[in-house]
């Protein structure tokens, strides 16, 4: 990280500093919204002192980002159209990064100010969709190609289903506890326990479960939401200092060989399926010399792209042997081949077994482009933790007292947190971003219904309103900012 700004012009260095600030500000504000939810229950029930809770939450968020992989990070990145990704170091690419970040920050700040547990995940995804759609409009391109719609649908379903799952499972878990473990202490609110028993903290076992489940939510939050910040920072680094970050320069010779072998196997795969893919890939009609001067991503240019990539990697043992321009071009080749392979796998003529083979080849193709330096992960984890420490009070009050008609009991807190930790953890396994805010809030609401106390309609209406408005509002903000940025600065 120390040499990040070395050799950069002042204007480029300033752009880099501002972009990194924007991303970390987004993650900091994410702490107001999402990470605060991870500790809301444990603080409200007095299971842990606030300062200790947020400090441990930040630590578990860090380990979540560190150990959670990069599946969610690049699931978010690849919502963007491939033409923006391969030209992210252009003026239009930089306008895209700043626009989606500015839109996400503005909406997050607004909803936080009103104490609403709005979703940072929803906001970010809406911003990305808005930029992608506006990019298509400005280029007169079909809207069908403006976004990776299949990925958008998968993510949309995960964001829609996860709160419903949280509501149902948390309610069911509380019902089971009340039926089979009807211990009076467990089903008291902190105020009731203090008034009747004169005790400030929950019973020992309840307290232990509350603490462990809160840390579990923090861990899976880090491995889900933290990755979104990692993906955004990588977009920034690739856009502003591509020579250093378009490829993982620490890749071993073996990893580069795997990339080269995957390219050869991809070429052989297409040749074996020439009968089904001849027209789609224009097999036999192109050669390496037919790549256009201005590189673009098209299925009919797949075979020339493969030839150009193999030529670029010939005899290369380290990416540092390539010039910065050559590294950028290699990344473009890899992204385009991955994008085409993904589309080929969806063709009806391709058997299921062959689709699995293509998925394996795609993983090897992107092994040296989908990465993140350790300092990026550390910076995102720190921003999340600090945001939690500053902004947790509003969200704790909403989750603890304003969702239900009475305060939250210890059992309700346990059920909501256990459900949230499990639901988000499962989503992480499939590389799907979900909203910690909505999963936990809906879990609390589910326990209120199961407890027979009901919910405060006004609060639930506000949460639902934020849930409904977040996507279109973020899309509109990002689209408008992107249009304005391109018109003024590109």
Give the model's confidence band at 446: pLDDT under 50 very low, under 70 low, under 90 confident, else very high.
Answer: confident
Shared-domain flag, residues 31 and 150: yes
Q: 93 or 322: whose pLDDT is higher?
A: 322
Instruction: Give the domain range for residue 439.
Output: 17-244+372-489
Which residue shows structure tokens 């639930």?
A: 460
What does the alpha-carbon distance between residue 349 and residue 276 come to, in Å, rounded to a whole number?
A: 6
Does residue 108 share a domain with residue 22?
Answer: yes
Does residue 12 lie in a domain region?
A: no
Query: Do residue 75 and residue 197 come from a single domain?
Result: yes
More confident residue, 1 or 96: 96
Last residue within a domain, chosen from 365, 383, 411: 365
396 and 466 share one domain: yes
Q: Is the predicted pLDDT of residue 478 greater than 80, yes or no?
A: yes
pLDDT mean across residues, the chain: 81
pLDDT 10s digits, 98-142: 888 889 888 878 877 776 656 777 888 888 888 888 888 887 777
Note whether 136 and 197 are same-domain residues: yes
204 shares a domain with 65: yes
pLDDT at 254 over 90: yes
Total number of domains in the chain? 2
pLDDT over 90 at 261, yes or no: yes
**Domain end among 343, 365, 387:** 365
| Domain-embedded: residue 7 | no
Q: Which of 179-183, 289-293, 348-352 has the highest mean pLDDT?
A: 348-352
Rounded average pLDDT over 243-264: 92
In this model, does residue 276 exceed pLDDT 60? Answer: yes
Flag whether 5 is in a domain: no
**226 and 105 inside one domain:** yes
Are 86 and 197 in the same domain? Answer: yes
Residue 404 has pLDDT above 50, yes or no: no
Percent of the chain with pLDDT over 70: 87
pLDDT bracket for residue 286 (50, 70, 90): low
Q: Is residue 322 part of a domain?
A: yes
Question: What local confidence, expressed as pLDDT, does residue 391 receive?
Answer: 58
pTM of whole model > 0.85?
no
Rounded average pLDDT over 81-109: 78
> Are 192 and 147 found together in one domain?
yes
Residue 402 predicted with pLDDT over 60? no
Are 297 and 354 within one domain? yes
Domain check: are 159 and 233 in the same one? yes
Q: Is residue 8 part of a domain?
A: no
Decide which of 365, 400, 433 is a domain's last residue: 365
Residues 358 and 381 in one domain: no
326 found inside a domain: yes
């Amino acid at each position: 990280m120390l040499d990040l700004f070395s050799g950069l012009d002042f204007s480029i260095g300033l752009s880099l500093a501002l972009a990194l600030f924007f991303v970390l500000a987004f993650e900091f504000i994410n702490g107001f919204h999402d990470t605060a939810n991870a500790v809301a229950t444990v603080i409200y029930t007095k299971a842990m002192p606030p300062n200790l809770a947020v400090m441990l939450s930040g630590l578990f968020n860090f380990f979540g980002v560190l150990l959670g992989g990069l599946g969610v990070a690049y699931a978010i990145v690849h919502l963007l159209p491939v033409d923006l990704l391969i030209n992210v170091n252009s003026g239009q690419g930089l306008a895209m990064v700043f626009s989606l970040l500015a839109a996400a920050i503005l909406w997050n700040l607004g909803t936080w100010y009103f104490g609403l547990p709005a979703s940072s995940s929803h906001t970010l995804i809406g911003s990305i969709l808005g930029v992608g759609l506006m990019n298509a409009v400005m280029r007169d391109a079909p809207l069908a190609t403006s976004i990776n719609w299949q990925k958008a649908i998968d993510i949309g379903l995960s964001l829609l289903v996860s709160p419903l799952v949280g509501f149902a499972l948390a309610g069911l878990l509380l019902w089971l506890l009340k039926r089979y473990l009807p211990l009076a202490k467990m089903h008291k609110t902190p105020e009731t326990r203090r008034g009747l028993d004169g005790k400030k903290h929950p019973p020992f076992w309840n307290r232990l479960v509350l603490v462990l489940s809160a840390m579990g939510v923090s861990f899976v939050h880090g491995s889900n939401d933290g990755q979104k910040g990692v993906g955004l920072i990588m977009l920034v680094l690739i856009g502003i200092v591509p020579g250093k970050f378009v490829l993982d320069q620490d890749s071993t010779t073996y990893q580069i060989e795997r990339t080269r072998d995957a390219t050869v196997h991809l070429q052989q795969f297409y040749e074996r399926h020439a009968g089904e893919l001849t027209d789609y890939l224009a097999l036999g009609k192109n050669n390496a010399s037919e790549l256009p001067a201005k590189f673009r991503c098209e299925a009919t240019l797949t075979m020339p792209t493969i030839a150009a990539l193999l030529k670029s990697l010939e005899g290369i043992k380290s990416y540092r042997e390539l010039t910065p321009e050559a590294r950028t071009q290699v990344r473009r080749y890899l992204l385009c081949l991955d994008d085409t392979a993904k589309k080929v796998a969806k063709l009806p003529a391709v058997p299921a077994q062959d689709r699995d083979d293509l998925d394996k080849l795609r993983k090897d193709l992107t092994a040296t482009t989908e990465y993140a330096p350790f300092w990026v992960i550390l910076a995102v984890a720190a921003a999340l933790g600090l945001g939690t420490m500053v902004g947790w009070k509003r969200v704790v009050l909403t989750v603890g007292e304003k969702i239900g008609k009475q305060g939250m009991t210890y059992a309700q807190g346990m059920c909501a947190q256990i459900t949230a930790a499990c639901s988000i953890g499962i989503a992480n396994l499939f590389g799907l971003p979900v909203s910690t805010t909505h999963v936990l809030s809906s879990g609390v609401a589910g326990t209120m219904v199961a407890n027979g106390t009901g919910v405060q309609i006004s609060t639930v209406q506000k949460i639902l309103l934020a849930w409904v408005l977040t996507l279109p509002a973020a899309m509109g903000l990002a689209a408008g900012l992107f249009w304005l940025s391109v018109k003024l600065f590109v």
